[in-house]
Amino acid sequence: MKPLTEQGFAADLHRALAQPTRSISPKYFYDELGSALFEQICELPEYYPTRTEFALLRQHGAEMAELIGADAQLIEYGAGALGKVRLLLAHVERPQSFVPIDISGPHLLQACAALQAEHPALKILPVVGDFTHAVALPAAPEPGAGQRVGFFPGSSVGNFTPPQALKFLAMTAEQLRGGGLLIGVDLIKDPALLHAAYNDSQGVTARFNLNLLERARREFGAQFAADGFSHSAFYNAPLRRIEMHLLSMRRQIFSLQGIDYEFDAGETLHTENSYKYSVAGFQALAERAGYRPGPVWTDAQNWFSLHWLQA
């Protein structure tokens, strides 16, 4: 029997392809190859969010650790390679435990092993799962001990539509009640900069997008022409989001587990939204979700923000 996540991918892909407007969750980008491609994206000269957020963490990590406090349990949603949390852990006093949640199991466990080598005394409790659902968490610190603090960097919150983001934030506010959430949020900016960040000159983002179909080929023997789809990413200004699509270059059949789906030329499978916010707009959303907005750190160009939200 196949692992649960793969069953989820096949079922969701069938569901997406059967709809008149086709869209699928971007969480399916992150198999092993996809996770590695995403790390390459983070190094691209055009992809400003990662290095801007790293700089903010490097510059203000001590202030952030002050808000996190001593003996805290740190929970990271969508942990990935654990590069950013290192900059917090360098300052946090006696962390009670670190709970990274990620959908990509082997990738997460490898990253945890590397982090453990650097922090031998740190209690690391990895959770392999989909953080968009309320996964079971290890027990919170005893009352009177440290607080529970969430860490959600990278502007992954931008993958949600605003109503989904509201729901996710409300769920985390419940999980973190009495503590806080440190969350990275990409800001509205010159559409040309946004366009370049999702249409890099080396084509890494294109490979990342197309990997979704390649993953279906690897895992379920999906049949389609290798050159039948191309990467499409553009800024939808009225909706304040980057949209990524897999664009069918001609009329063709995509065959999945014995079912044929037809694509016309120009038809797409919508693979990702990446919403951009203003600082005030995001704070208003957080407030509606049950948080009290606290300090915000931004870079000099106002490209990216990190928010402290009191739960």
**Among residues 95, 129, 154, 179, the one that binds ligand AVJ under rule CB under 6 A:** 154
Residue 104 is a binding residue for ligand AVJ (CB under 6 A): no
Residue 155 is a binding residue for ligand AVJ (CB under 6 A): yes
Find the binding residues for ligand AVJ in span 109-138 (CB under 6 A): none
Phi, psi of 76 (to 5 degrees): -105, 125
Nearer to ligand AVJ, 187 or 256 (CB): 187
Alpha-carbon distance 88 to 275, whole Å?
Answer: 25
Residue 205 is a binding residue for ligand AVJ (CB under 6 A): yes
Q: Is 18 exposed, middle or buried (0-12, 13-18, 19+ CB in 10 A)?
A: exposed
**Among residues 5, 35, 96, 156, the one that binds ligand AVJ under rule CB under 6 A:** 156
Residue 50 is a binding residue for ligand AVJ (CB under 6 A): no
Name the segment binding ligand AVJ (CB under 6 A); options: 51-59, 139-147, 151-159, 220-228.
Answer: 151-159
Nearer to ligand AVJ, 73 or 211 (CB): 211
**How far apart, in Å, are the Cα atoms of 3 and each of 7, 104, 130, 213?**
7, 12, 14, 19
**Minimum distance from residue 154 beta carbon to ligand AVJ (Å):** 5
**Minimum distance from residue 205 beta carbon to ligand AVJ (Å):** 5
Chain residue whose CB lies nearest ligand AVJ: 274
**Minimum distance from residue 177 beta carbon to ligand AVJ (Å):** 26
Name the segment binding ligand AVJ (CB under 6 A); options: 60-68, 149-157, 170-178, 285-293.
Answer: 149-157
Name the segment binding ligand AVJ (CB under 6 A); options: 14-22, 92-100, 148-156, 287-295.
Answer: 148-156
**Among residues 198, 229, 263, 304, the one that binds ligand AVJ under rule CB under 6 A:** 198
Nearer to ligand AVJ, 51 or 91 (CB): 51
Taking CB under 6 A as the rule, which mask of x and - marks residues 218-247 in contact with ligand AVJ? ------------------------------
Alpha-carbon distance 73 to 94, whole Å?
Answer: 10
**Among residues 41, 99, 101, 213, the one that binds ligand AVJ under rule CB under 6 A:** 41
**Among residues 272, 289, 309, 311, the one that binds ligand AVJ under rule CB under 6 A:** 272
**Among residues 96, 147, 274, 283, the one that binds ligand AVJ under rule CB under 6 A:** 274
**Minimum distance from residue 238 beta carbon to ligand AVJ (Å):** 18
Alpha-carbon distance 154 to 131, whole Å?
Answer: 14
Which residues are near ligand AVJ by CB under 6 A? 41, 49, 154-156, 158-159, 198, 205, 272, 274
